[in-house]
Structure 1
Amino acid sequence: MWNESHNHFEARRLCQGKSKPAASLGCRESISNRLLVFNMEKERRREMAPSTSNLKQLLKYQSKCLRLEMFDGQGQLVLIVTHFIIKLCSEDDEIIILLKSLEDSAKLCWIYSRHSEEDRKFSTMFWNFITQLKVFFEVPNFKRTANPNEVVAAFVDLLLELLEEILHRRPYFIHGKVEKFIQTLKMELKFLITFLGDTPSQLTELETTKIVLKDIEAVANDVGSFLYSFFLNKDRISIGEMNKSLSDLLRNVELVKESITTHCFTVAHIWSSRMTPKIAVVSLSSVDSILDYIEDRINNDDRIADVKDQIRTIHQNLTNLKNGIKELEIERCQEREEFSMQFFYVAYEVEYIINSFAPVSYVTLRLLQVIEKIKPMRMQLQELKKNDAGMLKDAKYPRKHITLPGQRSLIGEDYLYGFKDAEMEILKSIREEPRQIQVISITGMPGLGKTTLANRLYNNPMIIQHFIRRLWCVVSRTHRRRNMLIDILMSIDIDNKEQFLNMEDEMLVERLYKSLKGRRYIFIMDDIWNVNAWDDIKRCFPDDDNGSRILFTSRNMDVAVMTSYKSRRNYPLRFLVEDESWDLLQQKVFNEEQCPPELVDVGKKIAGNCGGLPITIVMIASVLKNLEKKPSSWMKVAENITSYISKETNEYMSVLEESYNDLPMYLKPCFLYIGVFEKVREIPVKKLIMLWHAEGFIGKVERKSSEDVAQEYLMDLINRSLLLVAKRKSDGRIKSCTIHGAMHDMCSRLAEKDNFVKVITE
């Protein structure tokens, strides 16, 4: 009985921590071993069932003939303990041999039921057997498990079964105060067994935990001694002595409960860190499902009736916290994500407590702990809201990383493979199309060469000749208007840097506006992450219908669409084809020299494995430059490009990870989940959305179906250049998607680092 419930509890906990499969492997193996032992024990009990069944009948018969039992049901208590013995002992143990002898004697009594000699023999053996049972009324040395909690819990479960049977049989002395005391004792033992199941094995090494567990074991032994002394004896029971013993037992249990209460509050934070899934990425959508579950239990579960008010208060507080998190402007700041993680752990803990169906006194204690955790969280949320504006700002100017116009990008302007057509088309659009301001965006995955192309356009002689003013600004993910204004002014007048630094923001706005009024200008905003950066400064740029242009480079295809200007065009950059990839790799490795013939085949393989992404080709070229020019050395690189690049430079991964860091919290788990799919394979959208649903990643949006929300998540990832469209349906909707190899490597690495998922390969 205990083994079944405990294994169910462990298995459910592992399912709830499904985001960390790697860390759970050992636990699963342990559970499998325990289930195997349990099944073996069940088989042994099944084999013993006929004999114990016969023993039960014979005890009933003998009690009528010889008054063997001192009270109705005493023989049944013996049978309960007998089942416990079978579970603990081997076939060769002395107590099992004695049990078999008792069985044989009982059979003879059954056959020769009129022979008083056989009756006396059976009676003697029976009480001898009961005398030897005494050693089983204390916590046993159960060698099949290393967890002391399980040993004590198994014994307490036996005590509960005995008390339940006593109350069911209601012998002559069970009435009034005695019955009330036994009912209370049963309830308190349930409290203790719940604590044993709720104490993570990792915490058993704490000194406070050891003390509590020793106290529980001592109380369990006292209860065992009480049951044996009063219920397995030949003498008439003294109700007065029983009352006194029960009173002393309950007093001892109360002392243990006090120590448990103190202990629980002391290690509450440790419980959260040990029992909740060890992941660094959560979706508030998964908290939505937890809150829905809690609300359903409040409305439909009578087993928690006594604590419904507490749970309802906690549910309201958690709902308020969730709404407060969503209101924070900084979706991607570290403080917000850490707070959201803490919030998720508390919600998870509430669900766990409700699911435990523990005694009300224990649930009340645990819910009080949760309430104490929520109080400082409300204050912390208010502090986050207060500092929201400050989080939006970068450090004071100057920033450490500023790319000025004309600086070389990672790819380099001399190797503009695949961009020639795009460059000529954009030049034509810039010079010949409408006179009103036009927004032009160059979009695509990080590393495709957007900045390289923008640099080429900025320095193109036709652009220099056509525009009176050329302005440049690099936009960071957490932009600040003042920094952008200073960057822009410095791009046209670098000599007055000190003057700009000492000017107020409004003076900077006025200075920039006046310098552009009536003049045809082109303004390039490099690496813009969202349209808010443009909205913050757009009033500085007059529209005089003179052919001025705004050019964005962005990883997000929606940036240009979200601007208020009607005249806008987007130029998504494509990946390089095989020949272009090989040409770029050769140029970067050998400059003007020819590649040695023996390296051509393996070199083309390396270029092909870069997936047409220029930044990957450039990074791997820097690796190849420092290697021996031998096919064997290059082949090692071809087989594991990512590991070679990451060893040489962090710049490569940091460029890609910026896209992940920019994701709102609800999209991060959706993206990391892509890592479970095989690299370069097409991912059916229907299957992907179904799995997102199953994992609880899809949030609830008013007046939208979950299917529509999931489709929006998918499109957001595609528009951010994190996923690629593979196939479309006849109606234009996306049928399947894929992910670039470099992004997949980053996704898998981050998922493992954040303990989100562990992909196990043969």
Structure 2
Amino acid sequence: MDDLYVDLLDLVKFIENEVMKSGALTVCTEMLRKELRYLLLLVCGARTWIHMDEGNDVRNFFNRLQILITNAGRDLQLLCDIGSSEQDRVSYDTLQKIWLLKPDMILFLRLLPKLVRAFGVVLSADQVPAGYIESLIDNLEFLLNYKADFVAPVKEKLEVIKRILKILKGFLPFMLKYSNFESNEFNNFCNHFTVVTKKVSCCIALLCLADELDEDMADCISFMLIDLLQSIQHAKSDIISYVGGLKLLHPTIEFTRELDVFAGGFVHFILEAPMTKLNSWSYLPVYIDHVQKLQISLRLLLIYILCCDIHNESLTIFDLVVNEFWSFINSLDNRETNEDLGKEFDLAISRLVQKMEPMASKILEGTIGTQKPALPFSQIDSLGCVDLVSQNLLRLLDHRIDSIAPVAHQIKVVLFDIKNFKPFLEGNVDQQGKREEVLYVCDRMTNLFVEFEYIVDMFVLKPSPMRNNQLDDVIEEIRFFKEVVEFSQIFTGKKDVPIDCQASKPSTPIINEAVVGLEDQIEILMARVIGGGAELNTIPVIGMPGIGKTTLAKRIYNDGRTSDHFDIQAWGSVSPRNTVSELAQDILISIIDLSNDIYKSKEWKELDYLDLLRRQLYGRRYLIVLDEVWDSYIFHELHRCFPDNHKGSRILVTSGRKYEDPLFDEPFLVRLLTPEESWELLQVKYNHLRLCTREEFRKPPIPNENCPAEVGKEIAANCRGLPLAIVLVAGFLGNLEDDSDWLTITEEAFSSETNRDVGDCNEIIELSYKKMAGYLRQCFLYFAALPMSTEISVSKLTWLWVSEGFLRRDEVKKPEEVVQDYLNDLMGRSLVMEARRSSKGWLKSCHIHDYLYHFCRDKSKAEKFLPVASRFEDFVLDKEDLILYIPPISLTRTMIYSSEPGWHRSWKSPLPKEGPFPFRGVKGLVRVLDLGCINIGNTFPPKIERLVHLRFLSLQGDMTVMPSWISKLWNLETFLVKGTKSEVALPDTFFSMEGLRHAHIDNCTFSDSNLSQLDPLQTLSTPSLSYDKGNIMRSFPFLQKLKCIFLESWGHSENLGESCNRFPVLDFLNQLESLNVIYQGRVLLPCEFNFPSNLKKLTLSKFRLPWVEISAIAALPNLEIFKLLSKAFEGEEWNVSNDEFPKLKYLKLGNLNITRWNISDDAFQSLEHIVLQNCKLLTEIPSEFGDSCRSLQKIEVFMCGETVSQSARNIEESQQDGGKGKFKVTIQNPIRD
């Protein structure tokens, strides 16, 4: 036996190494190679069990085979040595001899039951039978291709047999693996397999050996093939009973791809005969899709039988349906195929499918329960997630990246699957009352698409066959679930109209915060703030989260009595991540203009801000509010900046804890609201929110029929006097449908009332969370990825959400508008709070309550939403808890640095002074990387070059040159760089970043060589531009927002006909709407502006020009917002003529040395809002704003003289006298003589 194995192996190697290399490989030689390969497998297995052959029949077979192989090897070797062309003849002769032996090869199958009992599943019991079938399939293909004319009379039957053999080969290994080797069913199956394969072998041998196929021979072979097909078909019931035998012994077979292949192959096998007959009729194939539904149902039913059904109820249904299908197809013999028969067929198949309906729920639940555990991807917004995957995969194909070429076909397959799956997802996702298993299918399919995208992204980073195989595995599982979806639709029907859980209603911005109650406490606290002794007092305002500490402090801060009493007012929001210097700067912003260059110089140290604050407060009566002090340490560090001037200065500190500290006076404890105050606040808050909804969607104020007074009072009482709870309930109720039962629904939030702490709002937030649409939920939870107790820039939030793929596609609105809608919706639910608004009235920054932050953080963990690395240690120490799922797939795609509370005490210098930034924690699949709070040194970390999936990148450091490899980040959309030293030189490759939309790089410079057009770029800051370098901006034709530095450029002007200071020409930027310009250079006159006529917003700083030069700007036809800051213009008097600034709505003058401001009656005809800041020399605001400017609505005055404040009040009186009751004036920190 060993000699035979060696001879076979040598012959196979000879053919593969010598014959194939010589180019002499023919069809016959290739067929011989395949046969020898199978014989090698057979002999290898036989060596382990040949001793069990009691009758020596198998030994005799191998002896004959030994002689055949020895002779064939000798003949082929000889012919190869002499270069003869007779190899094909020798190969064919050897094949014929093997074919003569082939029917006897089946002898070993008689030993199969005995073998598996002795050895279990060994090579002979598993691979050899499958290999034998493979060799038969190869023989059939050889006949059908090489001897096509010869076998033409029986070609159709051979094709059927080949198809059956392929199906049998597919599920045979599985059946042998899980068989009950002691059962009669197993013996019956082995006997059946032996009979079938021997008959096939005989037919093949006869056809291969015959020289011609005369009529008698054709009839003989045709008879043999018919007999063979009948043998296969008649074994159907035996195989079904064999499956029952499998089930009795193996009640816990796990779902695998092998099981899926087996189930599909088995169903095809037992339905092969009726399907063959069905396909032969011309009319009935029209209804083939109904048969496919039957096949899908049977396949899933079989998987359920093998994995779940220990009582075999399903096996009975399976057997019944198959038998009835066979019987029905047989009953159609000799029937005329017409429309009536088609309808009868359609009805019969439908009835067969319906017979499985009693098991439908169990089948669906069972089959999906057999799947491997899903990767922990979030399913908060399945529809948006699938859309994002589709967009990302299409993006990969569009970029034609070489590395994805090997998987391009798989990507196209999955894109097609996504397209087909979306209607099912739209009809079922976010539906109340949907069956749990249907929702699971939605989640699982979404999970698979995301998993596929992850693997593709890893393939882009590092192509490998392993990744390719992983993609195939995911595609196979997607196919399985596609059939589950079809099965679900058969029995559960379809939803044609997608309905979000709670669709957002169109809303308008929420401008004012409704405040009710605590009037008695306001008066008590006010008495302590503006009364008492002359010494400095620190008053702690203490209370549980959500009780209204910040609201109370704001009421005191904004009260007119406060501004009249104190010389200086300043507010500081304390974040756990604030350093003392950062908090000092936050306070100073309310007192002085920190935009002055002196405060930004390299020499300006942290202690300088503390000293500056102390000097600004020295000798003045001041009120400082420190909101949400979480640790007395930071207050102690800051307290030395607060001089005791013995003028009655006060520090108001809000905190959730009581400190035993000598620096603090007696704490002021904020009480809960009374039931009456709670009901009043609920009404005011709800009615305020309803006014923020467009009129056609607006609900009636409460009390109303949905919420009569007694119901409203009970709801308010359940909030136990906690203002946060009342506000949240109001926001939740404001988004309910009109016919909702308010009390019943809100009782769900208070279901555990007896055990609920007064400050526990989790159930209320949870109720509001559940009623939100998926896309809104993920936007809400995203706040957990951002720093706590911090104002969040809406611009940055927009860039982040776009990078994460959170925004639903909108063909009309820009992403910035969509984000405003989302935030307005969240504010309408009282989940997000406004911090500041921009000059155009849009939300500029926002924040959430700390309580809501903790809810978002806990909910994100529970929902496995957006695994985020946010701690300094995550980046430096590479802790294992950063990753929720161990490789091969790391789920962290968002890394936003925000340190743990108090990090600045232990990390005085966050990064090592030498060496590169240790990026061990940054993973290759990251899409969002925000290191804007860390100084990464003087070079760009080289590892970033490999992060090709980045879409958002924010860095801070001392770098002066951007590397050329930055263009390799072809996915990058938002790029933020805060340079802490001097200019940052951009490489030529910057212009090839085709995906870049937002680039904000401090003081950057361009090379003017190798320029190309960067069409996608929409916002840019802050390039330094001279007149000669201005043409660089032609590379950005679709720029919408620009912040830049103008450098002095003296030269001849064609327009002026003389030399002047020529500023860069920008009038060709037809899409530019917002421009912010800072000038660096000497004051040179005259000068020349060239701004685009479509400009809507303009900010100028440090030009120090005389007011006469403003005329070119005053004529801009579309200018709506104009800010003059930091000595933009100089001179005592500014005169504005008629018809200047025709569309201007917002005007801000900051840090100017203007003394007199005069306007004509018809100037500023559209002006709505005036802001004056730090204009200390200005005497008054023109009275014409009170008399003739009827569009004016608001004046804000900060750090200006008392006469300016008085003129603002006079204008307010004039406007009110003219009938404008909503005119508003804000005055803060007036400069007193």
Quickly name the TM-score band, shorter chain normalised. Answer: 0.3 to 0.5
Superposition TM-score, scaled by structure 2 size: 0.27
Higher relative contact order, structure no. (Cα contacts within 8 Å, ≥ 6 residues apart)? 1
Which of the pair is proportionally richer in helix? 1
Higher strand share: 2
Which structure is larger by alpha-carbon Rg, 1 or 2?
Answer: 2
Could you tell me the TM-score, scaled by structure 1's length? Answer: 0.40
